[in-house]
Amino acid sequence: MHGIRAMKVLLFTDTYADVNGPSRFIQNIAEQARLTDRGLHVFTSTRIPHASKPNVTNFDPLVAIKMPKYDTLDLTLPPGMRMLRAAKEMRPDVIHISTPGPVGCVGLMAARALRCPLLGVYHTDFPAYIQRLFEDDALFYVCQRAMRMFYGRFGGIFTRSADYARSLEGMGIPKQRLTRLLPGIDLEAFKPEFRDERIWESLPMPGCPLRGCGGGSGNGGGGGGPVRVLYCGRVSVEKNLPLLARVWKVAGARLRQLGVASELVVVGDGPYGPLMREELASECVRFVGFRHGRELSEIYASSDLFVFPSVTDTLGQVVMESQASGLAVLVTDQGGPKEVVEDGVTGRVLAADRPDVWVDAIVSLVCDDRQRRAMGEAAGSAMRKRSIAASFEHFWTVHEEVLAEHRAGLRRGRGGEVGGSAVATL
């Protein structure tokens, strides 16, 4: 048992300092590893500034360019040989790959060279992103084939939701290799107690060319202000933001007719940002860009309702963060976010192709303080069961089990093949 307790896991990721759910998850589990004295070390390659951590090593990229369609994200070429030498010196027991990018490919080479069992997380539905961004069936097919080839080498794959476990099975990944990772977030960072109406005074003001939008008193936004409807995430087409823009135009108009002061708050940025600003120029919308740390926590808690129209997310970290902050949430019936929302209790799960249903849900909850707040309280209670500590323990236990099976296979002289699934010796 001592060998299992001393397990070393080396995690390769192309995203660590970016503003997204996978980055936040990796930062959180790296912190949990430090707090619990577990042997998890992260290798990444980024030019984005970030705080130095003892169990995170950043290798300066050889080349870094802006990702097509995403000026806010980098595509980097890591120093592969340096990373491989460092991996060899570290002598990991298990290699974990978080992303199927250039750094993830270095992880594949390390697993092959060191004959380590290989695991990973399917964080992002890249084929769906390609389909949404480029609307090209050939590119979609090529991307799906590439994902099948990449993840087909893994001995174990964590999925963020049952929905995407089915997607991976559809790509040809054997069901026995898939494990749904217990969802979890940092509950100390997101909670209702961070509500502070003064946060809005320090943020860019909304453009409210129409009278009665966000100014004046609403019927329940807190402190007599407008009811604030929040979106947080990349401002991009694959997050289904064009739907939100269409919906808010109609919902905002209806709320003005009812005399209810309201405001849409958009946290984040991305390629759809300029067009979304243009489309909503005559509406009451506050675009605040990227926000981090305590400021982001206060924005969550000081809002009143969270909307997340994405149909491509494998989990939706922001959906859990908003619920932990005491907000009712609206999500689509496609993808992973619906699995962390109890329809009718902590929020609503809505048809992705029914803008009218979204309008009705937003107007109803903005106008109904009692129901909105009851859902928010239920959401906060539900999220208290989803700590990042519990998620990390699940993550770590699965790695221990795969390592134990790998070693048992070696003892049997089968090169690590266990239970009929190729626990990757690569």
CATH of the domain at 207: 3.40.50.2000
Confidence grade of residue 312 (pLDDT, cut at 50, 70, 90): confident
Residue 366 DSSP SS3 = helix
Higher pLDDT: 111 or 166? It is 111
* Number of domains forming the structure of the chain: 2
Same domain, 216 and 138: no
pLDDT band (50, 70, 90) for residue 315: confident
Is the domain of 104 the same as that of 22? yes
Looking at the structure, tell me whether residues 47 and 144 fall in a common domain: yes
pTM of the model as a whole: 0.83
Query: Sheet containing 118-122: which strands, arranged edge to edge?
Result: 56-58, 39-44, 8-13, 94-97, 118-122, 156-159, 178-180
Q: Give residue-wise pLDDT tens across range 210-255.
A: 544 544 334 445 556 899 999 999 999 989 999 999 999 999 999 9
Does position 351 have pLDDT exceeding 70, yes or no? Answer: yes
**Strands 347-350 and 328-332: what pairing?**
parallel
Confidence bin at 141 (pLDDT 50/70/90): confident
- The verdict on 365 and 407 lying in the same domain is no
pLDDT for 94-113, tens place per residue?
999 998 889 999 999 999 99
Rounded to the nearest 10 degrees, the angle between the axes of helix 388-411 and helix 21-35 is: 80
Residue 169 has pLDDT above 50, yes or no: yes
Alpha-carbon gap, residue 83 to 25, rounded angstroms = 22
Asked whether residue 418 carries a pLDDT value surpassing 50, the answer given is no
User: What share of the chain has pLDDT > 90, as a percent?
Assistant: 65
Closest CA to 375 of 332, 344, 350: 344
Domain coverage including residue 47? 2-184+387-422
User: Whose structure tokens read 């040809």?
Assistant: 172
Question: What Rg do the C-alpha atoms of the chain give, in angstroms?
Answer: 22
Classify strands 417-418 and 421-422 as parallel, antiparallel or unpaired.
antiparallel
- C-alpha–C-alpha distance, residues 219 and 369, integer Å: 7
Q: How confident is the model at residue 145 (pLDDT cuts 50, 70, 90)?
A: confident
Nearest of 74, 84, 81, 80 to residue 50 by alpha carbon: 74
Instruction: Say whether both 362 and 399 belong to one domain.
Output: no
Are 208 and 242 members of one domain?
yes
Q: Do 89 and 199 have their domain in common? A: no
- Could you write out the DSSP letters of every residue in 278-292? HHTTTS-EEEEE---
Are 172 and 292 in the same domain? Answer: no
